[in-house]
Structure 1
């Protein structure tokens, strides 16, 4: 999903991703419990740049992520998936990956140049493609309900808007390997230090190989 959001879009089939991930020892069943391995896989197969963020999605990482999404590049996030695909907190027992393709920002004022109001939803503004636009001021951290990530999980048919703080909290509590997986008789690749070391508080910023941002 992230490959289709890069420029140029990647036409790499899922089977190729699985083949390389298996050959490199990143996965056994399709699982991916290491953000670092996911970054290496993306760089090799999608031909993109991958920047690993650690320490959670708050603080200075928050501005990096929002600026990255405003620029139009995808974000990969491990999180606990609820029954409706939205973020929840299950200590990593429901750990999955999601891709974020954009961001919805609640701002006090829209910059005058480079934006157009949605014809059907008053108060919703979009950047005008091909027009230089000044990024809007980012909402301050702690501004409740001001930032939503346009995100999609692989089993979902549709993108959803997820509250940024809920995503951050879900990502920050990925600590344990699922007991049901541990007893299902299958082999999984889990990094040294377990789920906490491989996923907790981490995310990936993907950019095209020739992008200087």
Structure 2
């Protein structure tokens, strides 16, 4: 999904991505418990610049992530997946990856006008900034933050509250004990799921289009 956002004209097949991950030893069954390995895989199969953030999705990283999304750049986020694909808190037992590709800011009423940022023709309270990141980020006016996401098993895009994704991402501690003891070989980084995933995201930068 992220590859299609990075290279909309080209096709990066799931088979190629999976085989590359297998060949590099990043996965054994399709699992990916390392943000470091995910970043290396994305860099190789997409051929674009990749940045791995650690230390959680709050604080200074929150601004980096939000500005990255507002500029039309996708992000890969590990989190615990609930039955409806939304974030939950299961200590990593339901760890999955999602692709975030957009951001919705809930602002204080009146803090933005159509003169500042164009509004939608039918929904005048909805503003779209056409040039990516606004020149001045509306820091004091932001009341709510939602990100546009999609998980591989979901048929639809969803809006997730940024705080809930942040909390789910931070508490990835361990593999599901039932899965860990099922006799199947999985690739785990040194330090396990917590070391490999907790508080980490992978930022992808769109590739320049050929002339």
TM-score of the alignment, normalized to the shorter chain, above 0.5 = yes
Contact 1:72 1:102 in 2 (8 A): yes
Deviations 1:7-43 (A, max 9, x none): 5554110000000000000000110000000000000
Quote the Cα distance in structure 2 between the aligned partners of 1:132 and 1:182: 43
Question: 2:22 maps to which residue?
Answer: 22
Q: Can you give the 5+ residue segments of structure 2 that lack an aligned partner in the other structure? A: none
Aligned residue-pair number = 207
Deviation, 1:93, is: 0.1
Deviation, 1:119, is: 3.0
Q: Does residue 60 in structure 1 map to residue 64 in structure 2?
A: no
Contact 2:67 2:133 in 1 (8 A): no
Question: 1:97 maps to which residue?
Answer: 97
Question: 2:206 maps to which residue?
Answer: 208
State the TM-score, normalizing by the size of structure 1. 0.89
Deviation, 1:140, is: 5.5
- Do the aligned partners of residues 111 and 193 (structure 1) sit closer, same or farther apart at CA in structure 2, a change above 3 Å counting? farther
- Do the aligned partners of residues 13 and 153 (structure 1) sit closer, same or farther apart at CA in structure 2, a change above 3 Å counting? same
- Do the aligned partners of residues 17 and 123 (structure 1) sit closer, same or farther apart at CA in structure 2, a change above 3 Å counting? same
Question: 1:120 maps to which residue?
Answer: 122
- Do the aligned partners of residues 204 and 104 (structure 1) sit closer, same or farther apart at CA in structure 2, a change above 3 Å counting? same
